[in-house]
Structure 1
Amino acid sequence: MSAFFVTGTDTDAGKTLVTSGLLALARRRGLSTLGLKPVASGCEATHEGLRNADALALQAQSHPATDYDSINPIAFAPAIAPHLAARRAGLTLALDTLVERTRPLLERGHNLALVEGAGGWRVPLNESEDLSALAVRLELPVLLVVGLRLGCISHARLTAEAIRADGLTLAGWSGSLVDPEFASDAALYRDNLATLEATLSAPCLGIIPWLGTGEARTMAESAAEHLELPDGD
């Protein structure tokens, strides 16, 4: 284990559930953990500033404790693509800034550090840079979260191809059932999972069933029951 970048097949694919679940599992095993969400949209205004539910879930599973602004240094209120949220705020996101904010935290030497992206692999930061370039600059192996729903096989394979085309290692993948109806035909559901396992050419870290909704810490602990930690340095 060490540091990984977590991406998804799409927005709402279950990235935070898997990321927080892996961190919770590592904590159970007595390991130090760090979850980072460098850019987050869809934040709520609080007396402490903008706060993102996903980033708070990662903060809750980071040990030793880490301050919020380190975990989520760039936060926007609108729940839209980060580059569009930045434009509305009169700002321009820059890859160099994210690298400068993220790299020192990863160098602290946590047993498991996970950097969660926003949306899918090709989410733009600005007119010329994508958020995926952060993983490239930091030379992080990638964990792919597949939102298990109709169409997920193509989305997963295309994302895996893009990750490898960018010169990075797909270190593992996990599935998160985001549409309960997708599993209503048990045999077909198993066939979909078998196709993913056969075509992604990376270790499966686990399949999380439909867990419904709940408090973030409880959800992370429940997700941990269905996951295995990735291999790392």
Structure 2
Amino acid sequence: MSTTARSLFVTGTDTEIGKTFVSCALLHGFADAGLRAAAMKPVAAGAFERDGQWHNEDADALDAAANVVLPPEIRTPYLLKAPAAPHIVAAQVGVTLDIAHIVDCHRKAMQRADIVVVEGVGGFRVPLDDTSDTADLAHALGLPVVLVVGVRLGCINHALLTADAIAKSGLVIAGWVANRIEADMRFAEENIDTVRSRLAREHHAPLLGSLPRFSPASPRGAASRLDISTLLRTLRETR
């Protein structure tokens, strides 16, 4: 593993709140900072076949944003066909979602890039089997966490609960991103200010950026709204 390679784990307050979008924006930001940036989506549920190969929409988006594209078996060690909770789909097809194997794939990814963005699946406590979940995966990887908060009604509670769960796992929150998934939400800025105050006070987690609802989606445009320099500084300090 390179002695200068860095990595982070992207999680969210729920599913469908923009983890992939923010992960892609981070990849563009890291590339713009002169880094060789790669991405992993260790567990992906929902696949389609194209030209004889199985693809996942999120994994393909990460590949498109990265300037170092990993082999599919390293980028996504577990690609499940059905779009459902991964532990349910894995059990139905007889697949064990082995955290140790994902950690080994991550080690290989770190040998190929300056920075590796690891996107989780769903929220922070999505089960992988009867006893482990994505919090256990993040802990096994030992990475600083970037929390994506989907700005909608209930986001304050979801953000604080998720941040507490991350801290309970012994992990550092390198920062968080406010992602406006409801363009017409009332008091959106007030909600963001409340989360910013609480996460700064309770977890020393800086707001890395507040993203409007892009239409169409533009990860490259979102990258310019993220504080990549602060994030890189935090990653250096938490090595």
TM-score above 0.5, yes or no: yes
2:203 aligned with 1:204, yes or no? no
Q: In the aligned structure 2, how far is the partner of 1:95 from the partner of 1:158?
A: 24
Report whether the alignment pairs 1:88 with 2:87: no
- CA RMSD, aligned part only? 1.6
TM-score under structure 2 normalisation? Answer: 0.88
> Tell me, which stretches of 5 or more residues in structure 1 are unaligned?
none
Shift of 1:155: 0.4
Any unmatched runs of 5+ in structure 2? none
Matching residue of 1:63: 67
Distance 1:128 1:153 in 2: 28
Within a 5 Å distance, the mapping from 1:74-223 to structure 2 comes to 74-106=78-110, 108=111, 110-182=113-185, 185=186, 188-201=187-200, 202-214=205-217, 219-223=218-222
Identity fraction in percent: 38
1:195 aligned partner, one-letter code: T
The number of residues matched between the two structures is 224
Q: Deviations over 1:108-156 (max 9, x none)?
A: 1633211000000000110011122122112101110001111010000
User: The residue matched to 2:184 in structure 1 has which SS?
Assistant: helix
1:32 alignment partner in structure 2: 36
For 2:133 and 2:150, locate their aligned partners in 1 and report how far apart those are by CA, in whole Å.
21
- CA distance in 2: counterparts of 1:212 and 1:145, whole angstroms: 19
Determine whether 1:11 maps to 2:10.
Answer: no
The partner residue of 1:44 within 37, 43, 48 is 48
Contact 1:39 1:117 in 2 (8 A): yes
Contact 2:152 2:181 in 1 (8 A): yes
Aligned partners of 2:134 and 2:52: how far apart in 1? 26
SS at match of 2:67: coil
Give 3-state SS (helix, strand or coil) of 2:122's partner: strand
The whole-number CA distance in structure 1 between the counterparts of 2:181 and 2:68 is: 31
1:69 Cα deviation from its structure 2 partner = 2.7
| Matching residue's letter, 1:190 | E
Cα deviation for residue 68 of structure 1 reads 2.6
Distance 1:5 1:134 in 2: 10
Post-superposition Cα deviations, 1:48-95, rounded to whole Å, max 9, x if no partner, equal 422111111111222233223321121112111111111222222222
Structure-2 separation of matches of 1:198 and 1:58: 31
**What CA distance in whole angstroms lies between the structure 1 residues aligned with 2:52 and 2:159?**
37
